[in-house]
A and B are shown apart, each in its own frame.
Chain A
Amino acid sequence: MSLFVLHVSLTFGLLLAAAAAGVVGLRRQGASDVVYGLSALAAAGGAGFAVVHGFLGESPAALALPGGLPGVGIRLRIDSLSLVFLVVVNAVAALVSLYAVGYGRHEHPGRVLALYPLFLIGMNVVLIADDAFTFLIGWEFMSLASWGMVAARHEDPEARRAAHLYLLMACGGAFALLFAFGVLAGHAGDYAFAAIRARTLTGWMPELALVLILIGTGSKAGLVPLHVWLPLAHPAAPSHVSALMSGVMTKVAIYGTIRLVFDLMPTPQWYWALPFLFAGISTALIGLLQALVERDLKRLLAFSTIENIGIIYVALGLAVAFTATHLAAPAAVALTAALFHVANHAVMKSLMFCGAGAVLHAAHSKDLEKLGGLFNRMPATGALMLIGAAAISALPPLNGFASEWMVFQAILASPALPVEGLRFLVPAVGAVLALVAALAAACFVRAYGIAFLGRPRSPEAAAAHEVDRVSLAAMALMAGLCIAGGVLAPLVVEALRPATLQLVNAGLPAQAGPVPLTLTPFDGTRSTYNGFMIAVFLLVSSFLASWGVHRIATRATRRAPAWDCGFPDASPATQYTASSLGQPIRRVFGPIALRVRQQIAMPPPGSTAPAEFRLSMTDPVWSLFYVPLARLVELLSWQFNILQFLTIRRYLTLMFAALVLLLVVVVLWR
């Protein structure tokens, strides 16, 4: 029995058992332990098998099962690209499941239990599918199971609205993907990936397929303008599910983009990079600006996911541009940066969502204006979230910086592009990306500072307590991965080489120079970064500084009331709030990007009426794109309403006319 058969049967067997346990134990105490424990085991096994596959170099391994479409069957295949995503998805899913073992004890699980393992099954199927049918089945499993979990708290109208919007967008995305596969497979209709790869597309078919792919996978990843469901749906689910949706499911969507564009489609043209770059950079900017003014902690994290998806798509766009112009080395750098950021973001966003879950459980709120002072009350969660916040703000020596650094290196390689249009576009993209990198730090200073520092802004926050040890252990492992990903970045990059070799026929130079652990995208004279050394320097110098000061000078310390320029106020309402901290940024960037409108109504002097301050913010994409679309749909449905009340004679005439019209179209098409 081959390793792959063992892998598939064990992972899916365990997950199915977990789902069965979820159905059986829906109302029983302790069922969540079993379900999440089995899921953690299955996911860890999945990641472990993938690592073994990688080490043995056994990939690609293929498997054909009976069933599925006639003539195609269920084809499964594992190659270097699948391996990368299998490791990322399953490793993070295992840690999140471990967290859920602890977290699930506090939450009323309800219907989440049975759907959670099915969600994991769906994602794993997508990653190993080798024909369009299996791919779409897995994709829909993933969508539906996560929809069920978003709708789990259906008593809440917000959650219902989020679930509705999510279902609509998921349907639209799957529809686009279905068409994309149709275009790729053509008249012959062989939906095996091998057959699709072998086809040559003519005319404007590749471009049509590209647009459909970007709509299909981008809507799941949260690419602007298809992102509107994400900040509603991700936070509406229980926190461990939010972690999986934001950290992992968006990565499966990116896998879809990479698989279809880099593997199944023919060699790209340079202008294919344009939609990637435009959509990616606007996604990054819009996501981040909304995160900067958001006051719901979980929704803020969802917006930050949108931002990071944008960065990944920019890197993918650069990889497309370099591949199209036959610049192999920069293409490898850009693609490695994208894959590296995929792994990093999966880990750090899951950590942040798990931490947000801990906050929600401990302080009974995810509204930043009701939090505060949590570091003193839950120090372990506070310290772990601090690592996550620093990592996601792209600060050295953590992992977020290492991958963003590589994206910048890819941008710096772009003057070599022979196409002028791209050469002019890329520096603008680089400038916005630099702005986004800096704003991300501001965003997480605000989010972390308001929630964990300062004084508690509500009695619940003041009475908060540390969460259980299992959750903490899971978060600690994720934080450890954030550190390891930054300090040992070259090892990760080495592990990504087979995937880039497979997709763009080039890999990064060997990272094993005379000085170990130096990240070297091109060569040693062009740019290097050694996260390990930087971490050592930081540790040594902060230790030296604190030791020296305590040793030479004094260590006397006194606790006293806050100074606050001599006028401390006991009320925690005198602190800066999340809204006031973001106000300057809202004022500078808001009027255009977020359509911020504020109105101040001051009563005349002598009047005792209260002054009023109103603030309104809307996503411009929503008002410019979705509202007109919804109006159009409504208008059309009114117009077509008459079709529901025709006589049988007219219906038959209508059918006849439709048949003739379609036949004419077919004749003209040929």
Chain B
Amino acid sequence: MTGDPALIGLSLHELVWQGCQMLLMLVIAPALVGLIRKVKARLLSRRGPPVFQPYRELWRLMHKEAVVAETASPLFRMAPYGQFAATWVAAALVPSFATGLMFSWSADLIAIVALLGTARFILALAGMDVGTAFGGIGTSREILFASLAEPALLMITFTVALLAGTTLLSAIADHLLLQPVGLRISLALCLVALMVVALTETGRVPVDNPATHLELTMVHEAMVLEYSGRHLAMIEWAAALKLTAYLSLIACLFVPFGMATSTEDPVAMAIGLVTYFAKLVGLGVAVAVIEVSVAKMRVFRVTDFVGGAFALASMAALLLFVSRGF
């Protein structure tokens, strides 16, 4: 166990690995989006853009002039960086290739969920800032979905925390890795709920369509409609980071195999990295398959979809309160 702050010395070595984790998340996030787009295109018998297209898009957007609406407040220009920072910190705190990194104790899973909430809070406000109908519609729907997705995620947190006896994500992953808990009803319910929450929160198909610009179906895109240039680049990048964070969370809770438990062992680290990439690719393909095989829902059907996830996750937590055997 390395989650204990008492065992953490301020060594350069540890700092380097933590830095790697932060940068890794930042760097692979656009590629994951590109991969999902590519797989989706192939499944639809199109060739699709190259996997690395999102990087070029970010680069292009960053070099464009940013247009700010005349009615915008200072919040409009600060929000992209604020929500990017909150998402980045949250993503960097989700263990990817190794557990027990240097700052893993600074926020537990509840705090990571809340950090994603901070990012959403900032972006939802930015959507209302210019004072157009589209920004409002996006914000209105986003807060509706989030108000059911976030408690679902918290109940998932409760469930895994009760199984592992800790809310520290790194320690939970350690626990699931070193003392396998076997097949559990509660974990199965959680997996379904977490998939639903991930699809909702990252604006994927049954809930929102990242490729659409049809006004009445947009959620996330409507909220950021007024953004352009480098501001839009930050928002897109943060969206990719959020997707990476959610898929990493699923990987770390449900397929923790291969993660390195000590930063001392370079071989374990290498194995951890390779398995992490494999897991991300697998989950990315799964997301693409889900996206092409289901239709987008009406807005008020989404509340049933996410509300169902909340109910499942609550049930999982309740089962564990009844008996640890579930």
Contacts and interface: CB of A to CB of B under 8 A. Distances in A.
A518 B105 contact: yes
A430 B158 contact: yes
Contacts, number: 313
Q: Which 6 A-B pairs have the closest CB atoms?
A: A576-B136, A454-B131, A542-B85, A553-B62, A455-B131, A449-B128
A332 to B, nearest CB: 18
A369 to B, nearest CB: 13
Nearest to A547: B81
A561 B67 CA distance: 9
B30 to A, nearest CB: 15
Contacts of B129: 375, 449, 453-454
B127 to A, nearest CB: 8
B106 A530 contact: yes
B84 A542 contact: yes
Interface string A429-456: 0110011011101101110111011110
A563 B324 CA distance: 55
A394 B110 CA distance: 11
A454 B128 contact: yes
Interface stretch (A359-367, A532-540, A653-661): A532-540
B161 interface: yes
Given A408-B154, A441-B121, A534-B107, A415 B70 contact: no
Nearest to B143: A442
Contact of B81 (A401, A448, A542): A542
Contacts of B267: none
A375 to B, nearest CB: 4
A326 B322 CA distance: 20
Interface string B242-275: 0000000000000000000000000000000000
Interface stretch (A169-177, A191-199, A202-210, A581-589): A581-589
Chain A, interface size: which category? 35 or more
Nearest to A405: B110
Contacts of B314: 427-428, 431
A626 B151 CA distance: 32
A575 B69 CA distance: 15
B167 A412 contact: yes
A94 interface: no
Contact of B131 (A453, A552, A560, A580): A453
B321 A423 contact: yes
Contact of B132 (A401, A412, A439, A562): A562
Contact of A514 (B8, B71, B324): B8
A414 B105 CA distance: 22
A599 interface: no
Given A430-B158, A585-B144, A588-B303, 9 more contacts: A375-B74, A394-B114, A412-B162, A431-B151, A438-B146, A549-B233, A552-B62, A554-B65, A556-B66
Nearest to B222: A565
B135 interface: yes
Nearest to A586: B144
B148 interface: yes
B147 A439 contact: yes
B131 A445 contact: no
23 contacts: A390-B118, A393-B121, A395-B117, A396-B118, A408-B154, A414-B321, A431-B314, A438-B148, A441-B120, A445-B128, A524-B3, A526-B167, A528-B168, A529-B108, A542-B81, A553-B62, A556-B66, A563-B226, A574-B132, A576-B133, A576-B136, A580-B140, A581-B143
Chain B, interface size: which category? 35 or more
A628 B245 CA distance: 53
B209 interface: no
Nearest to A562: B69
B144 to A, nearest CB: 4
B318 to A, nearest CB: 5
A545 interface: yes
B116 to A, nearest CB: 10
B322 A559 contact: no
B280 interface: no
Contacts of B148: 435, 438
Nearest to B59: A553
Contacts of A622: none
Interface in B119-171: 120-121, 124-125, 127-137, 139-141, 143-144, 146-151, 154-155, 158, 161-162, 165-168, 171
A549 B86 CA distance: 17
A526 B166 contact: yes
A409 interface: yes
Interface in B52-76: 59, 62-71, 73-75
A558 B65 contact: yes
A524 B4 contact: yes
Contacts of B65: 554, 556-558
Given A454-B130, A524-B5, A554-B230, A430 B225 contact: no
A555 to B, nearest CB: 8
B86 A538 contact: yes
Contacts of B73: 373, 375-376, 379, 382, 452-453
Nearest to A544: B85
B106 A529 contact: yes
A434 B151 contact: yes
A450 B111 CA distance: 27
B234 interface: yes
A534 B89 contact: yes
A376 B130 CA distance: 11
A412 B161 contact: yes
Contacts of A612: none
A506 interface: no
B276 interface: no
A591 interface: no
A525 B73 CA distance: 44
B290 interface: no
A386 interface: yes
